[in-house]
């Protein structure tokens, strides 16, 4: 994931802490590392430890002392946020994640490791993130996507993957992590964010697709016998393989693969369940594995057709102009 020799010991200890004690996923731990590596590189430039014209990506961080970390002021932090905004073109959500990484990092150093006394991130504001409606496929487009994969009997694996994504709202990491023994009867156990397990109940479409795929799933020469979904090398399929497969069928279905992505299928599943299945918002929260209800509430948006219908149902809608 990353080379421990590339970083100072205190950063390595912090990453171990969030991995083993806080139970963060490998992807989250990797994001913390990338965020904090960028921060430490910036500190070396800010303090004239390296030439300002040096290639930023080649700046080593293994020699950044804890004394330099402790000297950081709130003003330095805002200068860093300005740098990642203007210098690196980070979006508001990316900058907000960097603020979260810094807060966790400094909290650990000051209260857990007791390596520093002051925590400048206590007063660090997070960028305001504008709320936008999630993009999703409507019911007709979702059926088109499934039909694109179902058109060829050799695509039973792909059809099964798309069926699970569109029916269960799985994250890609959850999908590729499924083992055969995670499926028992009509239930599927997945490991979500923070290594939290949850149970998903499989409908008839999912059960049928899984059965059809298992009938043709390779049995010999497997590199990962426990994995449900295998790639052409008979090993567990990876995130990139899923992404390329979804793009392929979006294109075959005549849908915009630049507008929609694998994660948009999770949005699609959530929206279809809420809009057409009359699923309670708290039940949807459990299905999607959201820790906070506010995260789930983005799927309760009202679509344009509902807005149009609301306006047309106004009692004054048929009144003719009297001018």
Concatenate the DSSP letters of all residues of 78-100 into one string: HHHHHIIIIIT---HHHHHHHHH
Q: Which of 30, 193, 198, 301 is catalytic?
A: 193
Q: Supply the DSSP symbol for 120.
A: G
Catalytic residue chosen out of the listed positions 103, 135, 263, 301:
263
Q: Distance between CA 91 and CA 80 in Å, rounded?
A: 14
Query: Is 299 part of the annotated catalytic residue set?
Result: yes
Q: Measured between alpha carbons, how far is 118 from 72 in angstroms, rounded to an integer?
A: 9
Token pair belonging to 26: 């490998």
Q: What is the DSSP letter of 199?
A: E
Catalytic member of 156, 157, 264, 290: 290
Question: What is the DSSP track for 141-177?
Answer: HHHHHHHHHHTSGGGHHHHHHHHHHHHH---HHHHHT
276 tagged catalytic: no
Phi, then psi, of 150 in degrees rounded to 5? -80, -10
Residue 290 annotated in active site: yes
- Catalytic residue of the set 266, 267, 274, 275: 266
- 171 as an active site residue: the answer is yes
CB contact set of 307 (below 8 Å; sequence gap of 6+): none
244-251, long-range: CB < 8 A, 24+ apart: 245/158, 245/161, 246/162, 246/165, 249/145, 249/148, 249/149, 249/158, 249/162, 250/145
Among candidate residues 44, 157, 171, 264, the one labeled active-site is: 171
Pick the catalytic residue: 32, 136, 213, 299? 299
* Residues forming beta bridges with residue 179, ordered by sequence position: 227
List the catalytic residues: 171, 193, 263, 266, 290, 299
């Amino acid at each position: 994931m990353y080379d421990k020799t590339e970083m100072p010991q205190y950063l390595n200890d912090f990453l171990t802490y969030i991995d083993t004690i806080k139970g963060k996923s490998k992807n989250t731990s990797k994001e913390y590392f990338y965020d904090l590596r960028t921060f430490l590189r910036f500190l070396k430039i800010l303090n004239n430890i390296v030439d300002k014209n040096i290639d930023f990506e080649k700046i080593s961080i293994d020699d950044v002392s804890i004394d330099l970390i402790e000297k950081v002021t709130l003003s330095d932090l805002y200068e860093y946020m300005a740098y990642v905004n203007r210098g690196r073109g980070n979006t508001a959500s990316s900058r907000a994640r960097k603020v979260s990484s810094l807060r966790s990092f400094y909290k650990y150093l000051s209260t857990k490791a007791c390596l520093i006394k002051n925590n400048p991130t206590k007063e660090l504001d997070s960028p305001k993130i504008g709320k936008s409606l999630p993009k999703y496929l409507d019911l007709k487009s979702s059926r088109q996507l499934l039909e694109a994969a179902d058109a060829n009997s050799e695509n039973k694996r792909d059809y099964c993957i798309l069926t699970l994504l569109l029916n269960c709202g799985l994250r890609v990491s959850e999908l590729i992590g499924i083992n055969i023994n995670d499926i028992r009867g009509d239930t599927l156990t997945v490991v979500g964010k923070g290594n939290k397990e949850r149970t998903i109940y499989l409908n008839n479409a999912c059960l049928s697709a899984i059965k059809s795929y298992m009938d043709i799933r390779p049995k010999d020469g497997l590199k990962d016998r426990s994995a449900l979904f295998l790639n052409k090398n008979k090993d567990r399929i990876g995130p990139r393989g899923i992404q390329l497969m979804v793009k392929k069928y979006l294109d075959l279905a005549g849908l915009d693969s630049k507008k929609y992505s694998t994660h948009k299928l999770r949005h699609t599943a959530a929206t279809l369940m809420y809009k057409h299945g009359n699923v309670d918002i708290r039940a949807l929260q459990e299905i999607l594995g959201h820790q906070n209800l506010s995260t789930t509430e983005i799927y309760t948006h009202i679509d344009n057709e509902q807005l149009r219908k609301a306006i047309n149902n106004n009692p004054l809608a048929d009144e003719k102009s009297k001018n």
